[in-house]
Structure 1
Amino acid sequence: MTEEIPDDAPVDGRAARWAGHREARRLELVDAAVAAIGEHGPEVTTEQIAARAGVSRPGLYRHFEGRDDLQSAIAARSVERLVHVLEPVWRPSGRPFEMLAKALRAHLGWLEANANVYRYLKRTSFGTGGESATTNVRATVAEHVAGMLIDGSLGAEIAPPVAHPLAFGLVGMVDSASAHWLDAPHGATRDQLATQLTEACWAVIRVTVGPVDP
């Protein structure tokens, strides 16, 4: 039988290993929950998540402080995965227009492959502040984009007071258009939308900062 470590036990090697085991198990359950959402959609039930994880409903909640904690963990994991997909974009290489196109293709590819997860995030709070998970995704990505605008990675060095509103505006436009396309594509393919959004974002950047070498 596995030895239980009391919450108030001294932090020694045994307690640290136990904490690491619990964290690893929690992550496994979160990944199972994300898979269940992908299979069953944003209306997924706790029972379906538990079944996907191979545990009982009470067994699932032994690792989370209620449904809100589980939802927050799912949101955090999904944000982490999307940022990982976009990670190569944060290490600039190539011409600015090509980098922008690459980032948008990666975003739309993730969105299309994880449509049900994205729909789940739209209705889920992130953390304890009541912020929606998709709002957190937009903020995370926009901060990265602002950094690239400031350091000149996208063709011109832009002052922070201009770069941050521009970045959040661009990300908001892309997110809104992508979400609409996901639910009502109107015949547009992913590549067509990526091209349209790339050209639109590039036009906004040029209007804001003047001529930029693509």
Structure 2
Amino acid sequence: MKAEAVRRSSHKIAQVRDRRDSRWDDHRRARREQLVQATLAAVSRHGAGVGMEEIAAEAGTSKTVVYRHFADRSELHVAVCGRVAEQLLAKLREAMESSDEPREMVAAAITTYLAFLEADPELYRFVVQQSPDRPAADPIDNLSHLVGEQVAALMTEALERAGQETAAAGPWGHGLVGLVRSAADWWLRAERPMIRSELAAHLTDLAWAGLSGVVPPVRPSKEEL
């Protein structure tokens, strides 16, 4: 009986600790989200070169508190990159799924990517800026991979519908993403020497000049014939 009482008592203590740990985890996640949001606001206010003091001020706290939740600036930067990656990937997915025509899908993805950059160029600069302590596997690089995988998947579907081999869809998808990202980086560095729609049209023409020779048109369905 005594052993059973001890066991029950230990179980109750463990439950209390679990609830406390859970509440702390929830608080920590919420606080990290608040600090990420404050960083986004600080970047919008001060630009890509925003400092930790300005971020802390935007959050209404001190740098010491920020460092309780993020080990250093690099860790906070990665969290912000992750947020931006989620937002951009969702927009690109929606754009690419808006049409079954491969050329229209390419054009929609390029236009959406450039629009995202143009809406907040300082945030984009903050996300892609290089630093000595930047992690090797950071979200913006991962974003390029994810977008490349999605474009490759859509190309795979187009090739399958045409009854053709799909092995080339991977390099085509990732190559297209590399083309657009590199051109977009130049566009921002050059202070946008042309309007977004012109750049999007140029990149679509360039990409499609190559893809049109290897990606077949969508066959009409029986209902459309």
| Range into which the TM-score falls when normalised by the shorter chain | 0.7 to 0.9
Greater shift after overlay, 53-62 or 13-22? 13-22
Aligned residue type for 1:212 = P
Aligned partners of 1:97 and 1:154 also within 8 Å: no
Query: Following the alignment from structure 2 to structure 1, what is the Cα–Cα distance between the partners of residues 123 and 177?
Result: 19
Tell me by how many angstroms 1:147 deviates: 0.9
Aligned counterpart for 2:88 among listed residues 77, 82, 87: 82
Indicate the residue corresponding to 2:129 in structure 1.
123
Q: CA, structure 1 residues 166+95, in 2 after alignment: closer, same or farther (shift >3 Å)?
A: closer
Which residue number corresponds to residue 10 of structure 2? none
Paired position in structure 2 for 1:46: 52
Most deviating of 69-78 and 96-105: 96-105
**Under a length normalisation based on structure 1, what TM-score does the superposition of the two structures give?**
0.82
In structure 2, the partner of 1:165 is 171
Does residue 65 in structure 1 map to residue 86 in structure 2? no
User: Bigger shift: 183-192 or 85-94?
Assistant: 85-94
Equivalent of 1:212 in 212, 217, 225: 217
In the TM superposition, residue 84 of structure 1 has moved relative to its aligned partner by: 2.1
- In the alignment, the residues of structure 1 paired with residue 163 and residue 42 of structure 2 have an alpha-carbon distance, to the nearest angstrom, of 44
TM-score normalised by the chain length of structure 2: 0.78
> Relative to structure 1, is the Cα distance of residues 195 and 100 closer, same or farther in structure 2, using a 3 angstrom cutoff?
same
Q: How many correspondences in the alignment?
A: 205
**How many Å apart are 1:183 and its aligned residue?**
2.0
Indicate if the aligned counterparts of 2:152 and 2:169 stay in contact, CA closer than 8 A.
Answer: yes
Q: 1:183 to 1:128 in 2, by over 3 A?
A: closer
Q: CA deviation at 1:184?
A: 1.4
| Structure with greater proportional helix content | 2
- Secondary structure of 2:99 counterpart: coil
Identical-pair percentage: 37
Query: Matches of 2:119 and 2:81 in 1, distance apart?
Result: 16
Superposed CA deviations along residues 126-157 of structure 1, whole A, max 9, x for unmatched, are x9852455422211211111111112289857
State how far apart, in whole Å, the 2-side matches of 1:186 and 1:62 are. 39
Where does the alignment leave 5 or more consecutive residues of structure 2 unmatched? 1-13, 220-225
Distance in 2 separating the partners of 1:184 and 1:166:
27
Contact 1:36/1:44 (<8 A) preserved: yes
Match of 1:101 in 2: 107
Shift of 1:203: 1.7
In the TM superposition, structure 1's runs of 4+ consecutive aligned residues that sit over 4 Å from their partners are 8-11, 153-160
Aligned partner letter, 1:166 = W
